[in-house]
Amino acid sequence: MIRLIGFFVGVAFTVAVLWAFATGAYTAATEPAAPTAEHEFHRTPRPLHLASDGPFGRWDLQQLQRGYQVYKEVCSACHSLKYVAFRDLAQLGYTEAEVKATAASWTVPGIDPVTGETNTRPGTPTDYFPSPFPNDIAARAANNNAIPPDLSLMTKARHDGAAYVHSLLTGYQDQPAELLKKFPDAKTGPGLHYNPYFANLNLAMAPPLSDDQVTYADGTKATVDQMATDVAAFLTWTAEPSLIKRKQTGWAVMIFLVFATILAWFAKKQVWAPITPKRPKKD
């Protein structure tokens, strides 16, 4: 009796699940989803061309150094770079002395060797970039209840990578009148900033860049677009420092495989030649 009851309960549950699925599928197929401001006004990133793009890409070391400068002087006030060590900057063309000097210009958490208490000290090349906030609570308190994301892997974590970063940094604007007319409830709230390249159109981060905000050592004009491009290139490097080496290795592997394939074909011809039947000549 118990097994029979269990069987009918299982059948009823199966029927209910199938019915729910069928009605849901029918509704989705026949009734279009309600339009949203995010769906209609969100924009895909604008194309961005960097020296590292493509199968023959190369790092532009001057651009990467400029991007690091933008990060240090602007972005580091809110965003961490916790997966990058100061010694990694040597890959950008800095000398050992410059890396040590750069590391020492940062303050990192430390421990007093005598008392064991936590303190701060100048950074060393083996240290990683420190977080600007001691904890998430402090980060939220300073950023309108939003935690600024770590930027180490940002161009890998977001679709379109560097183009997304560049478009986001240069995409701040006033809300379109059309949006407010069509979606009155989508008005940007206090403490938020409209940006069509962000998923929900509103950012807690204020526009971080302005013209001539930094002074480049190589004399490049520090426009908003230039700084956004440079820091996007820098974050492309932080996300995958081995990018160019990987491409070079890929070409070497491809050349080897082509060469090995040709050798294998000739070897096959040589090995099978004695037993390969010859085609009769046509009259």
Residue 29 scores a pLDDT above 90: no
Stretch among 145-154, 236-245, 254-263, 269-278 having the lowest mean pLDDT: 269-278
Counting residues of the chain whose pLDDT is more than 90, the rounded percentage is 66
Residue 273 scores a pLDDT above 80: no
Average pLDDT of 195-216?
A: 94
Tell which wins on pLDDT, 110 or 22: 110
Residue 283 scores a pLDDT above 60: no
DSSP H or E stretch at residue 174: none
Average pLDDT of 139-151?
A: 91
Q: Name, in order, each residue with C-beta under 8 angstroms of 105's C-beta and a sequence gap of 6 or more.
A: 122, 123
**213-227: pLDDT as tens digits:** 999 999 999 999 999
Tell which wins on pLDDT, 180 or 91: 91
Most confident residue range from 1-15, 20-34, 75-89, 132-146: 75-89
Q: Name, in order, each residue with C-beta under 8 angstroms of 226's C-beta and a sequence gap of 6 or more.
A: 66, 220
Question: What does DSSP assign to residue 133?
Answer: S
Average pLDDT of 172-185?
A: 90
Tell which wins on pLDDT, 111 or 133: 133
Residue type, 163: A
* Domain edges within the chain: 50-77+150-258
**Domain 50-77+150-258 homologous superfamily, CATH:** Cytochrome c-like domain (1.10.760.10)
Supply the mean pLDDT for the chain: 90
pLDDT of residue 276: 64
Residue 163 scores a pLDDT above 80: yes
Stretch among 15-29, 33-47, 171-185 having the lowest mean pLDDT: 15-29
Measure the CA–CA gap between 156 and 151, rounded to whole angstroms.
10
pLDDT of residue 116: 79
pLDDT of residue 2: 72
**226-266: pLDDT as tens digits:** 999 999 999 999 999 999 999 999 999 999 999 999 999 98
Paired tokens of 15: 């029927």
DSSP H or E stretch at residue 119: strand 118-122
